[in-house]
Amino acid sequence: MKILLLEDDSLLNETITKYLRMVGHTIVSAKDGKECLGFALEEKFDLSIFDINVPFLDGLSLLEDLHVKKRAMPVIYISALNDIEEISKAYELGCSDYIKKPFHLKELDYRINKVSQTLKQDMHHKRLSKSYSFDCDKMILYYQNTPHILPKKQLQIVDFLAHNRSLVCTYEMFKEYVWFGEEIEEGTIRAEINRLKKNLKEDFIVNVRGMGYMVDF
């Protein structure tokens, strides 16, 4: 796998990099959030490993930025922090795993392999609920493995939510990536999403009051 590593401790950064290269991965490493963001925007990675408390741009804000720029990728967080709010936010942002420092390098490799297996299963179909899945390549929504036909705009909404599963998609994000920067009111977005929800046989869209919508499955 091609992995992007963010770790500001030079010794730990070097140790993780050497070990993961030894077991067959390609590693690009950064020591601060801004440098890491630059790498993430310039290259494509299969997985990222982020520390949280790093200079210039913390690991959580970094993932938020990547979601907005549609460059998000699976993330394993490594951190000495034991704050339940930080851990909760990491999972709300859609991280794949969270490892408390200190950890054994073999444990990190095990977690990477586990994420890799999940990615292979989840590469094309995004599970949205018990009965719904979405084929991101073909732009087809399935209900119990049968295509569920939707109007174009509603299908674009599902596509955006599926690509940002477990992340709150704000009204501004919908304006930019679903309505492509068109000047529209939040009420227009809410109305279209409400029509979509009525068309679904199983509602998988969660309304996050005052913020936007998400798929949390």
Separation between Cα atoms, residue 36 and residue 58, nearest integer Å: 10
How confident is the model over 161-172, as pLDDT tens digits? 998 988 899 999
Average pLDDT estimate for 116-145: 83
Q: Is the pLDDT score of 181 beyond 70? A: yes
Which domains, from first to last, does the chain contain?
2-122 (3.40.50.2300), 125-214 (1.10.10.10)
Q: Specify the higher pLDDT residue, 107 or 124.
A: 107
* Residue 121 confidence (pLDDT): 62
| Continuous H helices in the chain | 10-22, 33-42, 59-68, 84-92, 105-122, 152-163, 171-177, 186-199
Among the ranges given (19-33, 54-68, 72-86, 178-192), the one the predictor scored with the smallest mean pLDDT: 72-86
User: pTM for the whole thing?
Assistant: 0.59
The answer on pLDDT for 69 being more than 70 is yes
